[in-house]
Structure 1
Amino acid sequence: MRIDSHQHFWKYDPVKDAWITDEMAVIKNDFMPEDVYPLMQTNGITGCIAVQADQSEAETHFLLELAEQHDFIRGVVGWVDFRAANIAERLAYFSQWKTLKGFRHIVQAEPQDDFLLREDFCQGIALLSKYGFTYDILIYPKHLPHALTFVKRFPEQQFIIDHLAKPLIKAQHISRWLEDIRPFAKLEQVSCKMAGLVTEGDWANWKMTDFKPYVNAVLDIFGTDRVIFGSDWPVCLTGASYTQTCEILEKNTTHLSGEEKEKLWGGNCARVYNCQ
């Protein structure tokens, strides 16, 4: 069983999707489930998790509708405003969809480095466990110390760090990131997505070996029970094809056993997101 834990779908809108810069022109297009499914099949991947890219409840409904139309979308990570006064009502409302597995907020775009520690935000996060929802942490390396404090507040909550917290792979800066992500080793409720590697690399000149130190570090810190494959398609297309994205992980994890690879490629995703 292989599950891609991190895919995005959108109908491109230059206003809504203003985060897509001219350097990322290759993804200034519509990307829908029917576009990725053949690529998944080629790489032996049978299911995926659709993750929000826009901060609106409309986005959550859009992804839920796609999941209803396509069986291979095994789960959705949507968006809801955790700071809203009616957050309890909104979470109760969204709990009716079994394909909705969790939520995410684009913390990396917030002006406050300690946004995760806002009291109103944390009050919303505290309600997630009631419904068994996960929370994906989307941050940059500078946010890791705040994220560590954040997850410690919620020992019963399932967290997933997206994209290894986006280390500076292109510049091959690893020491500070490694120092700040290592403490998560002891926090069993935190997993890490092995996704977005090529997005943080040198899009035009990356080599397989560029990613090895980061792959090894994450496996060492989180262990093979808490690391999850994700393609970050279509964002990955800025630097690599879907197949190349899969090859990056395959060629940098040849030392793992068959059982460990099964966990990395699908088993851990199925467990963390409660999907099959």
Structure 2
Amino acid sequence: MAVDAHQHYWNPARGDYGWLTPQMTALYRTFAPADLAPLRAACGVQRTVVVQAAPTVDETRYLLDLARHDDSIAGVVGWVPLDDPHAATLIAELAREPKLRGVRPMLQDLPDDDWIATANTARAVDALIAHDLAFDALVFTRHANALAAFLARHPALRVVIDHGAKPPIADGARHEAVDPAWFQAIARLARFAQVHCKLSGLATEAAPGWSDATLAPWVAHLLASFGARRVMWGSDWPVLNLNGDYARWHACAQRLLAPLTDEERAAVFGGNAARFYRLARMD
């Protein structure tokens, strides 16, 4: 089963996407399963994991409602206020939905880079573990120390780093080198056995006109650090449309991962996401 481990659906009219403004003309419209279906089909992708794009429980319910009516949505990564005293109760309620597979707190947008290390999230994390839910970490290099402290406290929590921690690929292209701070942060986070990483979002971080050669050293470090069994391919569609398209990124990733064995490629392009997110089989 080929799985896109990271994509989004949204409707700007819902009004809770603070980052999504009319000036973002390529993204400021509704993106729904029918829009992605032909792109998935052309690349042989059967199912997806849809990830929250607004820090609201209402958007999580919106995504879960979409998932109820579309078999291609294998799982939903939603949002909950992890530091709320009632977060555990809310997680238990949402976990009744069989397609809720994890949560994401949008760490990159928080004013405090150390929030994940200092906030009182223990009860919420215990609830995630109890309900077998995962945690998506949307971070930059600057969050690595705080995330490492959080990971050390919660070794039973399954965590995946979104978009390879958003490396500064555009800067790297100018300097003809992989950023050393990012390089070290990825190596450090990969030492935690419960952590996976998404091979997604890299095109967005590159300068326009990116190629296989642009992304190759960054992909190589992610694979060397996490291994083929802890990396999962995702499109980050429709954000991907800002600097690429679905078919182009899928084909690029296929070429960059060509040296892997057939079994390893199958894992990256579906098997790892299915195992990590505990996705149900599609008969």
Task: Decide: shared fold, TM above 0.5.
Answer: yes
Establish whether residue 216 from structure 1 lines up as the match of residue 220 from structure 2. yes
Partner residue, 1:76: 76
AA partner of residue 41 (structure 2) = Q
RMSD after superposition: 1.5
Partner residue, 1:169: 169
Query: Tell me, which stretches of 5 or more residues in structure 1 are unaligned?
Result: none
Instruction: Give 1:25 shift.
Output: 2.2
SS of the aligned residue for 2:12 comes to: coil
Give the paired residue count: 275
Q: Please give the per-residue CA displacement for 1:150-178, whole angstroms capped at 9, x wherever unaligned.
A: 11111111000000010001111521101
SS of the aligned residue for 1:27 comes to: coil
CA distance in structure 2 between the aligned counterparts of 1:100 and 1:110, rounded to whole angstroms:
23
Q: Please give the per-residue CA displacement for 1:86-140, whole angstroms capped at 9, x wherever unaligned.
A: 1121111112111100100111011111010123234422321000010000011
Partner residue, 1:185: 190
AA partner of residue 191 (structure 1) = H
- Taking the TM superposition and a 5 Å limit, the aligned residue runs for 1:1-276 are 1-13=1-13, 16-20=16-20, 24-172=24-172, 173-202=178-207, 204-275=208-279, 276=281
Q: Please give the per-residue CA displacement for 1:35-56, whole angstroms capped at 9, x wherever unaligned.
A: 0011101000000001000011
AA partner of residue 220 (structure 1) = A
Given the two structures, how large is their TM-score scaled by the length of structure 1? 0.96
Structure 1 outlier segments of 4+, above 4 Å: none
SS of the aligned residue for 1:244 comes to: helix
CA distance in structure 1 between the aligned counterparts of 2:97 and 2:171, rounded to whole angstroms:
42
Taking only the aligned residue pairs, the percentage that are identical comes to 33
SS of the aligned residue for 2:136 comes to: strand
Q: Structure 2 vs 1, CA of residues 74 and 43 (structure 1 numbering), >3 Å: closer, same or farther?
A: same
AA partner of residue 39 (structure 2) = L
SS of the aligned residue for 2:218 comes to: helix
SS of the aligned residue for 1:77 comes to: strand
CA distance in structure 2 between the aligned counterparts of 1:220 and 1:56, rounded to whole angstroms:
36
SS of the aligned residue for 1:105 comes to: coil
Contact map agreement 1:5 1:231 (CA 8 A) in 2: yes
